[in-house]
Amino acid sequence: MTQPAPRPAAPVRPVVNDFTINVATVNGSGSQTSNATLVDALFHMGIPVNAKNIFPSNIKGLPTWYSIRVSGDGYTARRDHAEVLVAFNAKTLDQDLRELPTGGVMFYPDHLKPSAPRDDVSMYPLPVNAIMKEQNVDAKFRDRMMNMVYVGALAQVLGIEMDAILDYLNRNFAGKAKVVASNYDIARAAFEWCAANVVKTDPYSVQRMNATTGKILIDGNTAGALGAIYGGCTVVAWYPITPATSLAEGLIEWMPKLRRDPHSGANTFAIVQSEDELAAIGMLVGAGWAGARAMTSTSGPGISLMAEFAGYAYFTEIPLVVWNIQRMGPSTGLPTRVSQGDLLSTYYLSHGDTKHVVLLPGTPAECFEFGWRAFDLAEALQTPVFVNSDLDLGMNIWMSEPFAYPDRPIHRGKVLRAEDIVALGGSFARYRDEDGTGVGPRTLPGTDALGGAYFTRGTGHTDAATYSEHPEEWLKNLRRLDRKHEHARSVVPAPVISGGGARTGLINMGSTEPGIVEARALLDRAGLRTDALRVRALPFCQDVRAFIEEHEEVVVVEMNQQGQLAILLRTEYPEFATRIHSVAHCDGLPLSAAFIAARVQDALTAPQPEEVPA
């Protein structure tokens, strides 16, 4: 067996519930169960936790890192370094060790030999092969199950409760007692070996808290799928693409359980895996026109393919919902890395003067809420609605408050029934704006009333839906669509504003929120008070303008290269353009609080042009 690790000479101050674990393994090696076990065990010990999976875009063989942040203060943003390293990948072991900060701790299989061991970190070699042999693990399962060794080792050295580990395995492998036992026995063997052989020299440990009571663990894609189901989704057309596939898979899993006729058992929904993204949105156009609540999930490359149909649905005013789980572009880019680079492309998707409604969830709870709210908005405004989530929010595990059931009945908008057509004298004007909202009445196919039909066309038309190339009719139609977009400002989700009275304001969107929350605390300790506004939808509502007007300087923080949110804000409010600073960064990783705080301070000290009077 491996000899106990030597003890450093200098004593160290204990670090409790405030560190990050970085698990380095090989993609496809079965570490998902082990990592999920650790996250769930910590969560059920009442300790706030967040997990981020940094994985390659191949199926198997390349390096993957799984980051588990433990924060008694409840922070969930990615940190720039991890103090606890699990080095189970021979190809990255030396690099991972070099990146470990002084005072950190490294767990690694004893058959892997670092080329440059360090004496400023604690190094715990683990007898992985010996434990697997003792547990009589079948050779064909050995590479996958060896990951449970680091689960047991971390549990013993850091203080993670074995009962919490067993509880997760029982829930995850319900009804599979042998699978539970084989995994737990390996973890228990590693735990006992560490208890007998490892002399703890690192300062890190966890202690039970009560900070997760009432909360759940969930990823944003599953939350969005559940929200869509509760919003009455009946048609899904999709094509597989990372990182959006798991949202469609969530619908495939849950719709049969929640959307079946209770009497006949028949499905009340249709899910179609199409041949490509172009076909998927084409199906949505047809389904939305027919009255179904229809949606798809995709990512940037799919959005590009959907441009023409998106413009058609915008101009013909057909409701549909597109979830865009953003990843790194341009082109194929980095399919398994996060970005917020599709804001402009989604907002203006298609040719001509097109502007779409775009929702920007920042939490799993908002993914659920926007899952159903997007359908209400699409039908109320008779337009495509895009929901721009991203890989970090969509695919990673987050703590969340339980989801709130929709607070109102399904809203179908201005849908005329047969009796309404009769009351109107047997005719109606499909695109006539009667109330200044820019939204006209519509009927659904099969409305049993003479005069209830109309012709849907992507060419020029009058307010009665008849063909026209007359310039005045064209301008009249575009101006009405502009009024509809202006009306949307009053019905889309309002921004979330925090703080008050500071001279500096921060503006962000989506999954940058955890970093912003923690960065504001760092800035406050550095003597810089800030207020914050998180944009939750396009077009901007009046609250956004008021926030900018109330602050002498505004810093816009986002995960893209060109500062797309800042561009939109400067375009929308040119009179305030010079007070709007941009912190735009896009390297594929979620923004850390330390990075945000430093870049905000840099942005505020950089020379700026004088503001031009309005």
Q: In terms of domains, do 177 and 223 share one?
A: no
Q: What's the whole-model pTM score? A: 0.95
| 304: pLDDT strictly greater than 80 | yes
Band of residue 4 on the pLDDT scale cut at 50, 70, 90: very low
pLDDT at 141 (0 to 100)? 84
In a domain, 196, yes or no: yes
Determine the average pLDDT of the residues in 2-22.
71
pLDDT in tens, 49-80: 999 999 988 767 789 999 999 999 999 999 99
Reported as a single tens digit per residue, the pLDDT across 80-133 is 999 999 999 999 999 999 999 999 999 999 999 999 999 999 999 999 999 999
Q: Does residue 462 register a pLDDT over 80?
A: yes
pLDDT of residue 60: 72
Q: Does residue 408 sit within a domain?
A: no
Pairing of strands 105-109, 122-126: parallel
- Residues 273-279: what's their mean pLDDT? 98
Domain shared by 247 and 303, yes or no: yes
Q: Which two tokens stand for residue 441?
A: 């009445």
- What per-residue confidence (pLDDT) applies to 614? 47
Q: What is the pLDDT of residue 1?
A: 40
Domain membership of residue 78 (yes or no) is yes
What mean pLDDT is predicted for residues 400-414? 93
- Spatial separation of the C-alpha atoms in residues 127 and 237, rounded to whole Å: 49
Across residues 331-348, what is the average pLDDT?
97
d(CA 259, CA 267): 6
pLDDT in tens, 149-203: 999 999 999 999 999 999 999 999 999 999 999 999 999 999 999 999 999 999 9
Percent of the chain with pLDDT over 90: 93
Q: Which domain holds residue 435?
A: 418-489
Of the three residues 144, 176, 205, the one that is the final residue of a domain is 205
| Mean pLDDT, all residues of the chain | 95
Please tell me whether residues 179 and 259 are part of one structural domain.
no
- Of the residues 176, 205, 234, which one is the last residue of a structural domain? 205
pLDDT (0 to 100) of residue 442: 97
199 and 114 housed in the same domain:
yes
In a domain? residue 412: no
Label the pairing between strands 320-326 and 357-359: unpaired
Whether 154 is covered by a domain: the verdict is: yes
Domain of residue 512, CATH code: 3.40.50.920
Kindly state whether residue 407 falls inside one of the protein's structural domains.
no
Band of pLDDT at residue 602, cut at 50, 70 and 90:
very high
Instruction: Give the pLDDT confidence of 213-231 residue by residue, as tens digits.
Output: 999 999 999 999 999 999 9
Q: Residue 22 is part of a domain; what is its CATH number?
A: 3.40.920.10
Question: pLDDT value at position 5?
Answer: 46
CB distance 101 to 81 below 8 Å: yes
pLDDT at 610: 58
> Does residue 517 sit in the same domain as residue 429?
no
pLDDT tens sequence across 564-589: 999 999 999 999 999 999 999 999 99
Q: Are residues 104 and 230 in the same domain?
A: no
Residue 549 within any structural domain of the chain: yes
Angle at 589 between CA 56 and CA 252, to 5 degrees: 60
User: What pLDDT sits at residue 611?
Assistant: 53
The verdict on 170 and 250 lying in the same domain is no
Boundary residue ending a domain (183, 205, 227): 205
Q: In terms of domains, do 310 and 166 share one?
A: no
- Using DSSP's 3-state secondary structure scheme, residue 289 falls into helix
Whole-angstrom CA distances from 419 to 380, 443, 448 are 20, 11, 9
Structural domain count, the chain:
4
Contact 411, 379 (CB under 8 A): yes
Q: In a 3-state reduction of DSSP, which class is residue 97?
A: helix
Residue positions counted in the chain: 614
- Is residue 140 very low, low, confident or very high in pLDDT (cuts 50, 70, 90)? confident
DSSP 513-544: HHHHHHHHHHHHHTT--EEEEEE-EES--HHH
What is residue 547's predicted lDDT score, i.e. its pLDDT?
98
CATH of the domain at 361: 3.40.50.970
Looking at the fold, whether 456 and 593 belong to one and the same domain comes out as no
Strand partners, 387: 323, 359
Q: Could you tell me if 370 and 223 lie in one domain?
A: yes
**Mean pLDDT of the 436-462 span:** 95
Give CA–CA dist 378/322, Å, rounded.
10
Cis peptide before 114 (omega within 30 of 0): no
pLDDT digits (tens, 9 = 90+) for 307-329: 999 999 999 999 999 999 999 99
339 and 436 in a common domain: no
Q: If you average pLDDT over residues 296-305, what whole number do you get?
A: 98
Give CA angle at 361 (521, 66), nearest 5°: 70
In a domain, 503, yes or no: yes
Amino acid identity for residue 602 in this structure:
D
Q: For 282-292, what is each residue's pLDDT tens digit? A: 999 999 999 99
Q: In what order do the strands lie in the sheet with 320-326?
A: 270-273, 235-238, 294-298, 320-326, 384-390, 357-359, 537-538
Q: Is the domain of 45 the same as that of 159?
A: yes
- Please tell me the predicted confidence (pLDDT) of residue 608: 61
For residue 407, what pLDDT is reported? 85
Residues 6+ apart with CB under 8 A from 496: 362, 533, 534, 536
Per-residue pLDDT, averaged over 434-455, amounts to: 95
